[in-house]
Amino acid sequence: MIDLKNIALLWSVFKGRAIFYLFTLAALLTFLVALLVNLYVS
Amino acid sequence: MNQLNNVLTLFFSLLVEAMPFLLLGVLFSSALLLFIDERKLIAAVPRNPLFAAFVGSLIGFIFPVCECGNVPVARRLMVQGAPVSMSIGFLLAAPTVNPIVFWATWTAFRDQPEIVFMRVGFSLLIATIVGWVFSTQKDFRPLLQPAIARSMPVPRHRSRRRKKHEESVSDLLQSGTFILGQSGQVQLDGDPLQAAALVANPVLSKPIPVRLQMMVDNVVLELRELGGILVIGSAIAAIVQVSVPRDVILSLGQDNVTSILAMLLLACVISICSTVDAFFCIIFCFCIYQRLFTSIPNFWSND
């Protein structure tokens, strides 16, 4: 979902601030989940 | 010259990979516009933002589109009055929580089925949380592009100031707020856009051949608009990918924390479609196994 190609597509719907919030929230949660999996599951 | 060839190869590969899914998304979006009644759609959506985000995240099972195709569908959902939490949930989850990606990940990680379920489950969780967080924004229109914001219905939320103003206004006939010629007083909540959203989709009353023609016109219109943007996005992704080699990004991640950050950055730069990224990801698994098995003899030989 979070990639350079998609930023341009999202720009046609959202303003920059919304894209920033969307990407930051999604990236932070993904990082947290991946860290938990890395530390406790794998 | 070699760099230019690489940029062109990556650019065309990204474009060829993404275009069919964009077309699929535009087709779904046009079908939503012309064959779905907004009032039924809004009535079917749960009122709880968290549950609406969860339902939105599951729509990907009905509309299996990747991240290029879900943008027009999410845009259409928002314009048709679906809650923001639902649209954001769909936008984030649909590229992963759909049968095509499930099958592709299953094929790639056949020996590790837990990865398939973790991918789908955690994507669902993250999309629901982000959609729920976005639902705290009562009026989402300031965060949207003006053209989209104008076509969205006005939210029913009323500020204290507006409530106070409405209480102070007399109950006598107000200009533009009543439908004349009907018995009783029917107030349309002030805004003509909201009033328009409450009226049935006029397209639905037209014969099917006319609707199909309108659908084709809408597909062409949206494809021209989003296709152009996709070309620009793919070109930027290809240039960045050649400018910043994958080895440089991967060399940044050496431990539990930095390896995740490196993979996040790599995913952002290479911009591959969610339907095929499982096959790309499995290469790294093989690399890890290879490193593990080549390090064991070295370990013994060092002893």
Nearest to B83 by CA among B120, B60, B104, B56: B56
Distance from CA of A20 to the nearest CA of B (A): 11
Quick check: A5 and B233 CB within 8 A? yes
CB-based contact B264 A25, cutoff 8 Å = no
- Quote the distance between the C-alpha of residue A4 and its chain's center: 11
Whole-complex ipTM: 0.94
Phi, psi of B177 (to 5 degrees): -115, 0
Total domains present in chain A: 1
Are B67 and A26 an interchain contact pair (Cβ–Cβ within 8 Å)? Answer: no
Question: Is residue B190 domain-resident?
Answer: no
Which residue would you say has higher pLDDT here, B79 or A21? A21
Top mean pLDDT of B21-35, B97-111, B150-164, B242-256 is at B97-111
Domain annotation covers residue B106: no
Q: Whole domain around residue B251: which residue ranges?
A: 244-303
What the block records as the tokens of B210 is: 């006319």
Domain membership flag for residue B289: yes
Task: Provide mean pLDDT across the span B88-97.
Answer: 89
Output B118 or B251, whichever has higher pLDDT: B118
Q: Cβ of B197: how many Cβ atoms within 10 Å?
A: 19
CB distance B126–A37 less than 8 Å? no
Residue B192 has pLDDT above 50, yes or no: no
Quote the pTM value.
Answer: 0.72
Which residues of A are less than 8 Å from B272 in CB distance? 3
Pairwise CA distance, residues B124 & B118, whole Å: 10
- Number of structural domains, chain B? 1
Look at residue B34 and tell me if it is in a domain: no
Q: Does the distance separating the beta carbons of B67 and A6 come in below 8 Å?
A: yes
Q: What is the pLDDT of residue B203?
A: 62
The mean per-residue pLDDT over the stretch B118-136 comes to 93
The answer, yes or no, to whether residue B173 has pLDDT greater than 50, is: no
Class of residue A23 by CB neighbours under 10 A (exposed 0-12, middle 13-18, buried 19+): middle
Give chain B's mean pLDDT: 75
Would you state the pLDDT for residue A24?
Answer: 92
User: HEC string of chain B?
Assistant: CHHHHHHHHHHHHHHHHHHHHHHHHHHHHHHHHHHCCHHHHHHHCCCCHHHHHHHHHHHHHCCCCCCCCHHHHHHHHHHCCCCHHHHHHHHHHCCCCCHHHHHHHHHHCCCCHHHHHHHHHHHHHHHHHHHHHHCCCCCCHHHECHHHHHHCCCCCCCCHHHHHHHHHCCCCCCCCCECCCCCCCCECCCCHHHHHHHCCCHHHHCCHHHHHHHHHHHHHHHHHHHHHHHHHHHHHHHHHHHHCCHHHHHHHCCCHHHHHHHHHHHHHHHCCCCCCHHHHHHHHHHHHHHHHHHHHHHHHHHC
- Are the Cβ atoms of B78 and A13 closer than 8 angstroms? yes
CA distance B137 to chain A (A): 11
Q: Is residue B89 part of a domain?
A: no
Q: Which of B18-22, B43-47, B120-124 has the highest mean pLDDT?
A: B120-124
Structural domain that includes position A23: 4-41
Q: Is B244 on the interface with A (CB under 8 A)?
A: no
Q: Which of residues 153-192 of B touch A (CB under 8 A)?
A: none
Query: Across residues B20-49, what is the average pLDDT?
Result: 78
- Flag whether B301 is in a domain: yes
Q: Is pLDDT above 70 for A12?
A: yes
